């Protein structure tokens, strides 16, 4: 009996030593995986953390770029030290000579560049406010507005990765250069065959952008506006009244529903009073609105409305339009 007990104790000791050894081995392996990938003289690279990226995605990208030995171990380590709650999108200068703890420390210092998203349909003042809301200490919104005032319509809506030290001049140049790259070059063939000038297309697209609730809606709205222009009919576009009014302190918006009294306001932008396109864009349109301006949908409609839910209804005659108003808006 005593011998049997001794045998059992020995077995448990062997098992304990095995698991202890295994644990030490795993810990040693994991520690190796957190070590630098390369020697101290390795060159640094610019590493970009995409917007909304999880630690799993970042770990995978780090492995792909040769900056960590194991994406699994880095991910577990990052979660252990709480990086998943602190990680910011942006750009970081990293090196294969950095350990996992040094990479985490760099992430915690904050990005050298940040993502700035500019939605379609903003006017210059809104673009300036959007950029100013980002952490860009050198950016002067008033200087930007002064620079960009004559470039309404050419401040291309997009998501930009910009250095934290960016100035108003640099961001103005970035937005207008992007417009050239993505519009003037990409749509150059369509622009050459259009009956309208580039300036007219941008103005047209700015109206489409503000009057449409979805990309699917844009070509139809463009078709209605094109039909009205063709027969010399006033456009009667509410967004131009909002542009005439400017900022509404009551709603704290540039685009709240305009007062009907504005329909008689003396302004070249008032499409209830003046036929044809406004003299300049009322906002900065995206690529889809510009494409719709170049290729309006063939339609006989001269009227449209949008319900509060965003559904569009079109009509060929004023009587049909009034019936739609009674049916869907009253």
Supply the mean pLDDT for the chain: 89
262 burial level (CB within 10 Å; 0-12, 13-18, 19+): middle
Question: How many beta carbons lie within 10 A of that of residue 76, not counting itself?
Answer: 16
What separation, in Å, do the N-terminal and C-terminal C-alpha atoms of the chain show?
A: 95
Span 174-217, pLDDT tens digits: 999 999 999 988 888 888 899 999 999 999 999 999 999 888 89
Residues 266, 258: Cα–Cα separation, whole Å: 15
Paired tokens of 86:
């602190």
> Any bridge partners for residue 114, and if so which?
162
Encode the chain in three state secondary structure. Answer: CHHHHHHHHHHHHHHHHHHHHHHHHHHHHHHHHCCCCCCCCCCCEEEEECCCCCHHHHHHHHHHCCCCCCHHHHHHHHHHCCHHHCCCCEEEEECCCCCHHHHHHHHHHCCCEEEEECCCCECHHHHHHHHHCCCCCCCCHHHHHHHHHHHCCCCCCCEEEEECCCCHHHHHHHHHHHHHHHHHHCCHHHHHHCCCCHHHHHHHHHHHHHHCCCHHHHHHHHHHHHHHHHHCCCCCCHHHHHHHHCCECCCCECCCCCCHHHHHCCCCCCCCCCCCCCCCCCCECCHHHHHHHHCCCCCCCCEEEECCCCCEEEECCHHHHHHHHHHHCC
pTM for this prediction = 0.77
pLDDT band at 22 (very low <50, low <70, confident <90, very high): low
pLDDT in tens, 105-135: 988 888 888 899 999 999 999 999 999 999 8
Distance CA 255, CA 126 (A): 11
pLDDT digits (tens, 9 = 90+) for 8-21: 443 344 444 444 44
pLDDT band at 25 (very low <50, low <70, confident <90, very high): low
Instruction: Give residue 7's pLDDT.
Output: 44
């Amino acid at each position: 009996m005593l011998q049997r007990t001794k045998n059992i104790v020995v077995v448990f000791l062997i098992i304990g030593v095995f698991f202890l050894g295994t644990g030490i081995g795993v810990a040693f392996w994991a520690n190796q995986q957190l070590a630098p990938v390369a020697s101290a003289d390795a060159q640094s690279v610019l590493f970009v953390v995409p917007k909304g990226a999880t630690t799993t995605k970042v770990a995978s990208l780090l492995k792909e770029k040769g900056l960590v030995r194991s994406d699994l171990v880095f991910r577990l380590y990052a979660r252990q030290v709480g990086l998943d709650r602190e990680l910011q999108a942006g750009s970081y200068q990293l090196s294969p000579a950095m350990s996992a703890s040094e990479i985490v420390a760099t992430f915690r210092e904050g990005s050298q560049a940040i993502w700035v998203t500019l939605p379609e349909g903003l006017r210059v003042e809104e673009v300036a406010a959007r950029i100013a809301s980002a952490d860009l200490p050198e950016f002067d919104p008033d200087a930007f507005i002064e620079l960009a005032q004559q470039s309404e319509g050419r401040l291309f809506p997009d998501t930009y990765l910009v250095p934290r030290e960016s100035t108003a001049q640099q961001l103005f140049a970035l937005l207008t250069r992007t417009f050239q790259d993505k519009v003037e070059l990409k749509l150059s063939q369509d622009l050459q065959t259009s009956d309208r000038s580039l300036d007219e297309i941008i103005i047209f697209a700015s109206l489409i952008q503000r009057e449409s609730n979805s990309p699917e809606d844009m070509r139809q709205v463009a078709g209605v506006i094109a039909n009205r222009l063709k027969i010399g009919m006033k456009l009667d576009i509410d967004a131009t009244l909002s542009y005439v009014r400017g900022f509404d302190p009551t709603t704290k918006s540039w685009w709240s529903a305009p007062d009907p009294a504005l329909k008689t306001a003396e302004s070249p932008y008032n499409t209830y009073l003046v036929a044809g396109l406004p003299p300049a864009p009322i906002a900065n349109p995206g690529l889809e609105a510009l494409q719709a301006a170049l290729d309006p949908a063939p339609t006989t409609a001269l009227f449209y409305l949008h319900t509060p839910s965003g559904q569009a209804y079109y009509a060929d005659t004023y009587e049909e339009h009034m019936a739609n108003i009674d049916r869907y808006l009253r």
